[in-house]
Amino acid sequence: MRIATFSTQSYDRQFLDQFNTGHEIKYFELPLNEQTASLTKGFDAVCIFVNDTANKEVINILSQNGIKLIVLRCAGFNNVDLPAAKEENITVTRVPAYSPEAVAEHALALILTLNRKTHKAYNRVREGNFSLEKLMGFNLHHRKVAVIGTGGIGRAFCKILLGFGCKVAAYDVSVDESLIESGVVYGTLEETLAGADIVSLHCPLLESTHHLINTQTLKLFKQGAMLINTSRGGLVNTADVIEALKSGQLGALGLDVYEQEGDLFFRDFSEDIIQDDQIARLISFPNVLITSHQGFFTKEAMEQIAVTSFGNIDAFHKGQQLLNQVE
């Protein structure tokens, strides 16, 4: 099959080339959107990532160009208009899990860095400043951590927290009995957030979870609590979080995802003026740590993404059962 692959970086090409099962791949650094969808003419499938856009308009163009398959090389599919794809008879597949431990470990890295201020200590020591002033953190042991969403990543994160001796509270529409047996306590969203020193988001972005963290839910947070989001940027109302940081209701914020990340992440703007005022404001806070959708980025995860993506392509090409089809 001829596959147009969008939003590709050098590392994408490295792993996709390594695990290619015999397909013709054309790489585009550009994201898929209304302006670039015309590039798909002459291809059989498109392969896209988290910040590509496959809305109704894009899907109409894909259909006109003969595209029959959208291959998501990620777990989330909120960027695809599934009814439009079904109407145009375009199949959509995804990678439902690619090393959940990678994202869970990154969430912990954000927590430890914000808490123990290792990023600030690193910069201080490089400048010859060995003072400990304003570097004090707190023990994670016996602290309450609220985990919102206990799918594959949330489950892995809970297990890590239990190893640290944390009191783990969880909220999810589906209860994981194995986590309960391990000591995780499920409750309502209000019960889970109440008294938590850290709140970590691990749920998908759906209509019901859009802006889950907003002015009202932030009022349920313990004064000075830490918020971590390694899931989807749209779970958090950025403007409301900025106000909570300014008032001190929120004590620290760690983000690996951002509502408007499609205009920023995976690209170098070091010589440019960033036009996004909200992320510029967030970067200015001393108690905010932002990474650019790095949580998934391990060798193991990249291998799994490539292997599963080509497995989905091969199954479609051969008319076999699609285990990872999104409907």
Annotated catalytic sites, by residue?
A: 232, 261
Quote the pLDDT of residue 64.
97
CA contacts within 13 A on the Cβ side of 32: 31
pLDDT surpassing 90 at residue 22: yes
DSSP assignment string, 163-223: HTT-EEEEE-SS--HHHHHHT-EE--HHHHHTT-SEEEE-----TTTTT-BSHHHHTTSPT
Nearest in space to 140 (alpha carbons), one of 116, 159, 118: 116
pTM for this model (two decimals): 0.92
Q: Give the H/E segment covering residue 252.
A: strand 250-255
DSSP assignment string, 81-110: -HHHHHHTT-EEE----S-HHHHHHHHHHH
Q: Which residue has the tokens 């199954």?
A: 315
Its CATH class, for the domain covering 100-290, is alpha beta
Quote the pLDDT of residue 77.
92
Write the CA distances from 55 to 52, 78, 268, integer angstroms.
10, 10, 26
Please give the Cα distance from 115 to 119 (Å, whole number). 10
Span 83-104, average pLDDT: 95
Res. 98 pLDDT band, cuts 50 70 90: confident
Average pLDDT of the chain?
A: 97
Span 98-114, average pLDDT: 96
- Distant-in-sequence contacts of 316-319, Cβ < 8 A, 24+ apart: 316/45, 316/68, 316/69, 316/91, 316/93, 317/1
3-state secondary structure of 291: coil
The proportion of the chain whose per-residue pLDDT surpasses 90, expressed as a percent, equals 97
- CA dihedral 118→123→127→130, nearest 10 degrees, is -10
Quote the pLDDT of residue 97.
85
- pLDDT tens for 34-81 read 999 999 999 999 999 999 999 999 999 999 999 999 999 998 899 999
Quote the pLDDT of residue 76.
87
Q: Is domain 2-98+299-317 classified as CATH 3.40.50.720?
A: yes
Q: Where in the chain is the domain with CATH 3.40.50.720?
A: 2-98+299-317, 100-290
- pLDDT tens for 263-297 read 899 999 999 999 999 999 999 999 999 999 999 99
Span 146-165, average pLDDT: 97
